[in-house]
């Protein structure tokens, strides 16, 4: 599922919801894969923390949730006028857990559903980094994980795009500048110029270009993660507005 | 897929709003402010080596024609050359498709921040007169501001007063701009680049009741907003910040400017300014009918010097007569 990047499977519909409800099986399948790629990790981590499930039960529930999403037209019950797609998905996952808790015999590993390829080992490693802080509630945690997923997938898009365009130096400069964990060792433009044997003006131009492309990748990815144009516009503004700190 | 820490997520997020100024003469310095649909960046003009303010839309593909509206704002600002209106230098589209507008960078503080420095009521009133000037100028050129508020009024380092943020400004029928209460919208108003003719536009607390209802705005709507700004400013200079402690004529001026019925307001910003000037000169104001006592007190205040001189003369004269008789 990690490999599913929307650039490789472009959606022809403007709205992911319309694509999910499409009569074209291929279009529908691509849309569901896109949703699964974007949301499985936030859902899995949410189930692990919110309901204190062990890894195996959370994996089973996540598998079942996305299998139902794909096979049983889960999204047919979604009304975009009532809330955001990701809130709907989180609520559905919670309901699935509660339903299965009540009906204990249905909480079975694997189940009858087809298997969705999800990299739970990576998700578990990430969980170790992202423990629920005391300041967060479960909703905030889920929102933050969705944002992390959005950026991770947008970076994948950028990498694919630059790989094809042969702009690997642009990518390397952008990643070196932005993906540095330790803010104290954040490189200056001059350091980047020396490191990549570029002129400082080249660094400025490369970063500017990569920033523009990354922004577009984020917006494209966000469009794939939202149900309607209205939700996309609102989410994009909320995302961009949050830079005003 | 590499895991992204919270710090990296924040860093990537900071990249998103950054305007793509490649191919332009500007270099972004820092974010100054942001509104609902756009952000204002401090930028350097690399050709003229001066600082400018860049207003950049958040998104390139606003569904509600925001790009056209920002360009419209730039066009309106360009048509209003007045020392109290922030000048626009440039407008266009960035490489990432977002529309921008380049304006003079005004250092200073908003009226919202500046009110704390106002020492007296008369100082506050003179400031309101300075705000009225560009507003009246815009009206005379057929433009309504529609979002006047303390946050949109800037006081510069040299005491200059500028009315900012003309994003909701609207062109109106020039012939009727000065007087007609419910104003006919210019035929151009139907054009997609003009802000909506009706619909709720403005800021609660400072927008007129007709704007709150979503009805068409008129110059009297800006009169209302200026009255609200005046009340806000005066309240900060009043004893114990209590508007009720202000002199009755001043409260009446605010009351008339902010009348719920547009027909009962001042017919123009100039008329409101004229009443404020009359108050400052201790003359009777049109908004308030004073009684005999109030009139006497006002006249005594107004002619205090002459009265003191006359009284001094009479006193000296009296003394002279008294001593002459002895």
- From the list B33, B59, B96, which residue is nearest A237 (CB)? B59
Classify residue A9: in a domain, yes or no. no
Question: What is the number of CB-based contacts under 8 A between chain A and chain B?
Answer: 100
What's the pLDDT band for B62 if we cut at 50, 70, 90?
Answer: low
Residue B205 to chain A, least CA–CA distance (Å): 24
Give the count of beta carbons closer than 10 Å to the beta carbon of residue A7: 16
| B237 vs B116: CA distance, rounded Å | 8
DSSP character string of B254-280? HHHHT-SSGGGS-SSHHHHHHHHHHHH
Q: Is residue B173 pLDDT above 90, yes or no?
A: no
Cα separation, A207 vs A177, whole angstroms? 8
Cβ–Cβ contact A176 with B under 8 A:
no
| Chain B nearest CA to A75, separation (Å) | 26
- CA dist., res. A161 & res. A18, Å (int): 26
Q: Is the pLDDT of residue B113 over 50?
A: yes
Residues of chain B found within 8 Å of residue A221, distances taken between Cβ atoms: none
Domain total in chain A:
1
Residue A80: DSSP 8-state = G
Per-residue pLDDT of chain A (245 residues; tens, 9 = 90+): 444 343 344 444 457 777 877 788 888 888 888 888 889 999 999 998 888 888 888 888 998 888 888 777 777 778 878 888 889 899 989 988 888 887 765 555 544 555 667 888 888 888 777 665 555 688 888 888 899 999 999 999 999 999 999 999 999 999 998 888 776 777 888 999 999 999 988 998 898 889 889 988 998 999 888 888 888 888 887 887 644 33
Domain membership of residue A208 (yes or no) is yes
Q: What is the pLDDT of residue B190?
A: 34
A185 at the B interface (CB within 8 A)? no
The arithmetic mean of pLDDT across residues B100-114, rounded, is 92
Confidence of residue B193 (pLDDT cuts 50, 70, 90): very low
Catalytic residue among B45, B147, B165, B222: B147
User: Residue B90 catalytic?
Assistant: no
Q: What is the pLDDT of residue A4?
A: 39
**Structural domain ending residue among the three candidates B104, B121, B144:** B104
pLDDT given for residue A104 in this prediction: 66
Q: Which residue range forms the structural domain that includes residue B315?
A: 292-325
DSSP-based three-state secondary structure for B144: strand
3-state secondary structure B186-250: CHHHHCCCCCCCCCCCCCCCCCCHHHHHCCCCCHHHHHHHHHHHHHHHHHHHCHHHCHHHCCHHH
At A208 the pLDDT is: 85
B129 against A101, higher pLDDT: B129
Express as a percent the part of chain B with pLDDT over 90.
Answer: 44
Number of residues that make up chain A: 245
B123 and B35 in one domain?
no
With an 8 Å Cβ cutoff, are B58 and A240 in contact? yes
- Cβ(B31)–Cβ(B41) under 8 Å? yes
What is the DSSP code (8-state) at residue B152? G
Indicate whether B32 and B139 sit together in one domain.
Answer: no
- For A212, the domain range is 16-241
pLDDT of residue B168 exceeding 90, the answer is no
Give the mean pLDDT of B294-321.
86
Mutation target vs A (from B12, B27, B40, B63; most A CBs, 10 A cutoff):
B12
Does residue B4 form part of some domain? no
pLDDT of residue A114: 57
pLDDT reported for residue A11: 45
Nearest to B9 among A148, A156, A229 (CB): A148
Residue B267 has pLDDT above 90, yes or no: yes
Residues of A in contact with B42 (CB under 8 A): none
Tell me, yes or no, whether B29 and B141 share the same domain: no
What pLDDT does residue A14 have? 56
* A153-188: b (≥16 Cβ within 10 Å) or e: bbbbbbbebbeeeebeebbbbbbbbbebeeeeeebe
Higher pLDDT: B161 or A49? It is B161
- pLDDT at position B67 is 86
Q: Report if residue B11 sits inside a domain.
A: no
Candidates A122, A156, A239; nearest CB to B16: A239
Q: Does ipTM exceed 0.85?
A: no
Q: Are residues B143 and B223 in the same domain?
A: yes
Q: Across chain B, what does the average pLDDT equal? A: 84
Residues 6 or more apart whose Cβ sits within 8 Å of residue A224:
A6, A11, A16, A34, A35, A38
**Domain-embedded: residue B64:** yes
């Amino acid at each position: 599922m990690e490999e599913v990047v929307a650039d490789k499977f472009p959606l022809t519909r403007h709205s992911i919801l319309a694509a999910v409800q499409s009569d074209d099986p291929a279009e529908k399948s691509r849309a569901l894969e896109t949703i699964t790629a974007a949301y499985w990790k936030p859902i899995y981590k949410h189930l692990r923390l919110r309901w204190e499930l062990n890894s195996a039960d959370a994996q089973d529930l996540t598998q079942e949730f996305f299998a139902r999403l794909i096979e049983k037209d889960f999204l047919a019950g979604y009304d975009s006028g009532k809330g955001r797609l990701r809130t709907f998905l989180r609520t559905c996952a919670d309901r699935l857990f509660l339903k299965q808790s009540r009906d204990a015999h249905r909480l079975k590993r694997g189940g009858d559903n087809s298997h969705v390829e999800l990299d739970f080992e990576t998700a578990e490693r990430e969980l170790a980094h992202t423990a629920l802080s005391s300041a967060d509630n479960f909703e905030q945690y889920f929102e933050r994980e969705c944002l992390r997923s959005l950026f991770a997938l947008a970076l994948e898009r950028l990498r694919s795009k630059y790989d094809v365009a042969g702009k690997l130096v642009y990518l390397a400069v952008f990643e070196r500048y932005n993906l540095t964990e330790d803010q104290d060792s954040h490189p200056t433009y001059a350091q980047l110029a020396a490191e990549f044997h570029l002129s400082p003006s080249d660094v400025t131009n490369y970063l500017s270009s990569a920033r523009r492309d990354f922004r577009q990748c984020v917006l494209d990815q966000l469009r794939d993660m939202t149900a309607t144009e209205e939700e996309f516009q609102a989410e994009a503004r909320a995302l961009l507005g949050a830079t005003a700190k | 897929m590499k895991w992204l820490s919270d710090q990296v997520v924040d860093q990537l997020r900071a990249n998103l709003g950054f305007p793509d100024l490649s191919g332009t003469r500007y270099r972004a310095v820092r974010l100054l402010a942001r509104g609902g649909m756009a952000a204002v960046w401090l930028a350097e003009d690399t050709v003229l080596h001066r600082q400018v303010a860049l207003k950049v839309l958040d998104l390139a593909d606003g569904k509600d024609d925001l790009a056209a509206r920002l360009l419209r704002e730039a066009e309106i600002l360009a048509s209003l050359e007045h020392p109290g209106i922030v000048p626009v230098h440039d407008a266009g589209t960035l490489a990432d498709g977002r529309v921008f507008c380049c304006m003079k960078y005004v250092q200073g503080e908003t009226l919202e921040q500046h009110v704390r420095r106002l020492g007296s009521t008369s100082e506050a009133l003179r400031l309101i007169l300075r705000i009225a000037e560009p507003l009246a100028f815009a009206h005379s050129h057929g433009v309504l501001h529609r979002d006047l508020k303390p946050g949109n009024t800037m006081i510069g380092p040299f005491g200059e007063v500028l009315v900012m943020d003309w994003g909701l400004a609207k062109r109106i029928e020039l012939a009727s701009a000065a007087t007609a209460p419910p104003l006919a919208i210019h035929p151009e108003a139907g054009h997609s680049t003009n802000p909506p003719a009706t619909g709720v536009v403005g800021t609660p607390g400072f927008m007129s009741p007709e704007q709150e209802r979503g009805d068409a705005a008129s110059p009297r709507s800006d009169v209302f907003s200026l009255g609200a700004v005046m009340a806000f400013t005066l309240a900060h200079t009043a004893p114990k910040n209590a508007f009720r402690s202000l002199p009755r004529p001043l409260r009446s001026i605010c009351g008339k400017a902010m009348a719920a019925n547009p027909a009962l307001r001042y017919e123009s910003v100039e008329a409101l300014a004229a009443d404020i000037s009359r108050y400052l000169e201790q003359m009777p104001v049109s908004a308030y009918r004073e009684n005999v006592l109030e009139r006497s007190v006002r006249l005594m205040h107004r002619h205090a010097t002459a009265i003191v001189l006359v009284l001094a003369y009479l006193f000296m004269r009296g003394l002279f007569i008294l001593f002459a008789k002895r």
